[in-house]
Amino acid sequence: LDREAQRRGNSTYLVGVVIPMLPEKLSNGLCSLVEGQDRLCKAVFLTFGPTGKIKQTTYANTVIRSRKRLTYKQAYAFLFEHDLERVRALPLPPKHQTGSTGRALRDLSDRELTDLQHWIRALWRIASRLRQDRMAHGSLDLDMPETKIFVDEKGYADRLEKIEHDESHQLIEEFMLAANEAVARLTRTRRLPSLYRVHDEPDIDRLEEFHQLLESFEIRAGDLTQRAELVRLLAVLHQHPQGYTLRTQLLRSLKKAAYRHTPDGHFGLHKQDYTHFTSPIRRYADLVVHRVLGDYLAQQDQPKGHRASTYDLTRVERMGEHLSLTEINSAEAERDSVKVKLLEFFERELERRPPTRFAAVITDVRMNGFFIELVDSMAFGFVATATLVDDHYVLADDDSALVGRRRKRRFALNARLDVEIGRAHV
């Protein structure tokens, strides 16, 4: 099991299908959190003070019992919905999409719902402070919306949903980041052979190319080698009509994060200490770090000077190189899977009557038509001038719009419009 998990490196999440790192009886059963059942785990206990600063950190082998399995939508509702009856009415997702499910919220008493809401809001008060502090100290807000493709019971793509990185996602993320950082600090200061999640500083030439791209969109930016300017630019792009595309280009201008045996820091998060610890079921790197932590905890009960470790530096160096490659392979497969399923979805839309109209934004204008990006799916398309039959359209003098000669209707850069699918291809 371990050799095969190491070879795979991580679970791969294709649309509607998971290729697990570990067999499903482990990854979705014995090793997975199940509502109301005890599970063995390694834990980082973080004690926060009134201002949200960490006062104490301890580590232990322990037992966890999940009190309630929630979707992000349910957690978001607990955070911001005052009417608990509306929260109670939110359904769990279909079992074929998520595996085992817990009790529906409608089966909980008023007291149970109130208690859940109290703790979720208390956790968010801490998490929001952690996030504010992280951003204030130069962490880059690189969170991107994603298109979730839902499949029917036969596996066909039948619904798209744009998932925003809202407060329910941020709540989970901040505590995961805090736990990852705490473990990385421990392994670094104790000089334990381990893996780190590193993100090197970007190449100046790549940032300069991106700077030139911004100028073509008439976006002013200063010296992007300065972290403060990157932070400011990301705030601008969050409000830009083509912000998703431009932020994607910025991500491509940065270096890829990787696994390494040396604690070289994380540029994007602006952290000296960072590793992956929180997902040992689906990432082998986290499993390595769990074993390193396990060795450390075992040593605390051994006579002074006793040092037994599962890994040495040479082994974790090779492991980091291998796992960085398996991560890239999985990411490419996942992107291809999304492309295939988006194509399947839009091909099925061609048969729908009446046709669905999709919100889009114009991303580029040419003499023979204009390029668009669909708002919800972030898929790209092209509207040919020949299909605009209500007028004869010509390119404006500044190349920013197609303008009808008679009616003066404009299809301008960054304008929004509704479109129908005429053809689907990769």
Could you write out the three-class secondary structure of 246-264? HHHHHHHHCCCCEEECCCC
Nearest partner of 11 among 281, 196, 258, 278, judged by Cα: 281
Mean residue pLDDT across the chain: 92
Q: Please report the pLDDT score of residue 272 as a whole number.
A: 96
Which one has a higher pLDDT value, 180 or 399? Answer: 180
Token pair 């969109």 is found at 217
Cβ atoms of 297 and 59 within 8 Å: the answer is: yes
> Phi and psi dihedrals of 270, rounded to 5?
60, 50
Cβ atoms of 273 and 263 within 8 Å: the answer is: yes
Would you tell me the crossing angle of helices 227-239 and 243-253 to the nearest 10 degrees? 150
Could you write out the three-class secondary structure of 77-128? HHHHCCCHHHHHHCCCCCHHHHCCCCCCHHHCCHHHHHHHHHHHHHHHHHHH
CA distances (Å), origin 223, targets 109, 244, 271, 325, 395: 56, 21, 21, 32, 34
Rounded to an integer, the average pLDDT of 329-340 is 95
Sequence-distant (≥ 6) Cβ neighbours of residue 243 within 8 angstroms: 237
Is the pLDDT at 15 greater than 50? The verdict is yes
- For residue 352, the Cα-to-chain-centroid distance in whole angstroms is 32
Cβ atoms of 194 and 311 within 8 Å: the answer is: yes
Q: Please report the pLDDT score of residue 38 as a whole number.
A: 95
Q: Please report the pLDDT score of residue 96 as a whole number.
A: 42
Q: Please report the pLDDT score of residue 98 as a whole number.
A: 46
How confident is residue 1, by pLDDT bands cut at 50, 70 and 90?
very high
Distance, in Å, from the CA atom of 158 to the CA atom of 143, rounded to the nearest integer, reads: 26
Dmax over CA atoms of the chain, in Å, equals 90
Q: What is the pLDDT of residues 69-101, one digit of tens each?
A: 898 999 999 999 988 888 888 876 655 444 455
Model's pTM, two decimal places?
0.90
Residue 193: strand, helix, or coil: coil
Cβ atoms of 227 and 279 within 8 Å: the answer is: no
Can you say whether residue 202 is alpha, beta or left, with left for phi > 0 and alpha for psi between -120 and 50 degrees? beta
Is the pLDDT at 414 greater than 60? The verdict is yes
Q: What does the angle CA 248 – CA 252 – CA 258 come to, to the nearest 5 degrees?
A: 120
Is the pLDDT at 243 greater than 60? The verdict is yes
Structure tokens at 226: 């300065």
Q: Which stretches within 145-260 are classed as H helix?
A: 167-189, 204-216, 227-239, 243-253
Measured distance between the N- and C-terminal CA atoms of the chain, rounded to whole angstroms: 37
